[in-house]
Amino acid sequence: MIVGVVVMVIATITFVVFMERALRKIHIQYPRRQVGMKVYDGGSSHLPVKVNPAGVIPAIFASSLLLLPVTISTFSQGAATGPVMSWLLANFGPGQPLYLLFFVSMIVFFAYFYTFNVSFKPDDVADNLKNQNGFIPGIRPGKKTSEYLEYVVNRVLVLGSAYLAAVCVLPEILRGQYAIPFYFGGTSVLIVVSVTMDTIQQAQSHLLAHQYEGLIEKSQLRGKSKKRPKRTPTRR
């Protein structure tokens, strides 16, 4: 069992890293532009849409809502003995079916809500593309682009919210149904993996910036060495 739990933890962390780095790339095309007498060809790029644009926020919000009945019962001892509060504490405890169902539904709701209201707004992205003269091939700029982006993000979030719910609910099922002492919750695993990935990316960016600084200094030194000193006229 210990070996199985260790293998499952490693597989879960690998799966989380894979899903956090997964992207849906949308092709963006830029038209030709003329500057003076020169005509520059239009370029192309990709608009990256993460499978999980909301990050750890939906899991944190859902966990906070699930802790609300326990918090209320802690601060109000008299209300904790009532029938409503007793039913909530009994059915919304860790491992209970209603607890898991409410947890999954809140994660899915906050994943969609946070993505479309904070992290990825299709209207703003469509306006920015229109201002930069960029467009999606086959889609008209403006409202049609916004509708297409919303269509894509809606379907990508089906996979992203299902991934978040699976990672967060798996430790609860192991603790409640199989009595496996899994001390780290899914939210903790997501936070640890996200912070570690951000730290690695920042370290890599600093290393690249340091290498570029060294290359610039070498190129400046070579440029100075190629310059010949001016000869002063000699007097006879």
**Topology given in CATH for the domain delimited by 20-32+39-183:** Preprotein translocase SecY subunit (1.10.3370)
Between CA 81 and CA 73 the distance in angstroms is: 9
Q: pLDDT in tens for each of the 236 residues of the chain? A: 778 878 888 888 888 899 988 999 998 988 776 666 666 666 788 888 999 888 888 988 988 888 877 777 776 665 555 677 777 777 777 777 888 888 899 999 999 999 998 888 899 999 988 888 888 888 888 899 999 999 999 999 999 999 999 888 887 777 766 666 666 677 788 888 888 888 888 888 888 877 777 667 666 656 555 555 555 555 55
Q: Which residues are CB-neighbours of 191 under 8 A, at least 6 positions away?
A: 56
pTM for the full predicted model: 0.75
Q: Domain residues of the chain, as ranges?
A: 20-32+39-183
Q: Can you tell me whether residue 38 is helix, strand or coil? A: strand
